Amino acid sequence: MSPPVISAPAIAAVVVGGLLLLVATVMALRPKAVTSSVGWLIIATFAYCIFGLAAAMQLRESDGLRAAAMQFLALALAVVLLLQYQPGPASEEAPRQGLASTARAVVWLTLLGIPPTVGFHAKVMLYRSLLSVGWGGMAALAMAAAAAGVLPALSAIGSRPPLPLRGARAVFAVVVIALIVILGIYPQPAISLAGLVQNLVKSG
């Protein structure tokens, strides 16, 4: 049986996504990139979204669009949580605040696709969609990048504690953390939302 023909848009999307993922992961792995590594991981997550779109371009029946939407949802929640931080590093003497440290850990967990966060389900859907169109190599690359991403996470989480979150920012951070974890434990609402996006795009 001859291998399936890959469409030109799908090839373009895969190449762009693959390069973006490689560059972002390598940049995040630099030893001095503790503060910027989360930014590079966000860019890498965009690459995962592109992979999902590429899978959808290759095979309309695949779950690629849904995986991309799910990945985007996980990314959006992580970025919203990240925006609650005050700019500037905390001093060594500043007391460690449990909420701020937890928020930082949850951002990393969801970006890396570690449960119990919604990012886990986004990653599983993405790997499945890549495998369903026969792109095992791209799935392996995506998993390897997720494995490599844990190294900057170890540096970042082990670094100085972030500034404490206060007032409305603290309340909002609690809500977003709860949302990320609840959707990680019970992912059906997120999956349904992603499915809705997929249907809208397909019907459009």
Partner 1 sequence: MATVQQNTLILVWLCVLPFFVAGCAALFPRLSIRFHSEAERVAMAWAPFSLAALACIMGVGLTASLLPPALAGNPVIADYWWTQDLYHFRLQGDALSLLAVFAVYALGFPLHLHLVGLREAGPAATDRGPIDHTGAHRAALILAAQGCAIAALLSADLIVLVFSVQVALICLWGLVSITMPQRGLRFLLLAQVCGLLLLGGALLMWRQVGDTSIQALPLLLLSMNPSVLRLVSVLILLGLLPLISGAPAYGWLSSLLPLKRSIPMAPATLLVIMGTALMLRLLPGVLLLPGLPTFAALCLVLGLFSLWWGGLRAWIATDMGAFAAWLTVAQSGYVLVALAAASSPNAPPAVLQAAAMQILLAPLAALTIWSVASYVATRTGSDALPGISGMIKTMPLAGVALLAGGLSLAGVPPLAGFHVQRLLIGGLFADARPALGVVVILADLLLVAAVLGVFRQAFLRGEPPPPAAPASPWLSGQLALLTVGIALIGLWPGPLIHWTEVIFRTALSVTP
Q: Would you say 12 or 144 has its CB closer to partner 1?
A: 144
Task: Name which position in 59, 143, 179, 193 contacts partner 1 (CB under 8 A).
Answer: 143
Q: How far is the first Cα of the chain from the last one, in angstroms, to the nearest whole number? A: 34
Q: Indicate which single residue of 127, 152, 162, 180 sits in contact with partner 1 (rule: CB under 8 A).
A: 127
* 158 touches partner 1 (CB under 8 A): yes
- Of the candidates 115, 163, 164, 179, which one interacts with partner 1 according to CB under 8 A? 115
SS (H, E, C) 6-67: CCHHHHHHHHHHHHHHHHHHHHHCCCCCCCCHHHHHHHHHHHHHHHHHHHHHHCCCCCHHHH
- The C-alpha angle with vertex 141 and arms to 191 and 18, in degrees rounded to 5, equals 85
Nearer to partner 1, 16 or 143 (CB): 143
Residue type, 52: G
Report whether 164 contacts 97 (CB < 8 A). Answer: yes
The answer for residues whose C-beta is within 8 angstroms of residue 186's C-beta and 6 or more apart is none
Asked if 40 touches partner 1 (CB under 8 A), the answer is no
Applying CB under 8 A, the span of 9-17, 19-27, 40-48, 148-156 interacting with partner 1 comes to: 148-156
Chain residues binding partner 1 by CB under 8 A are 109, 112, 114-116, 120-121, 124-125, 127-128, 131-132, 136, 139-140, 143, 146-147, 150, 153-154, 157-158, 186-188, 191-192
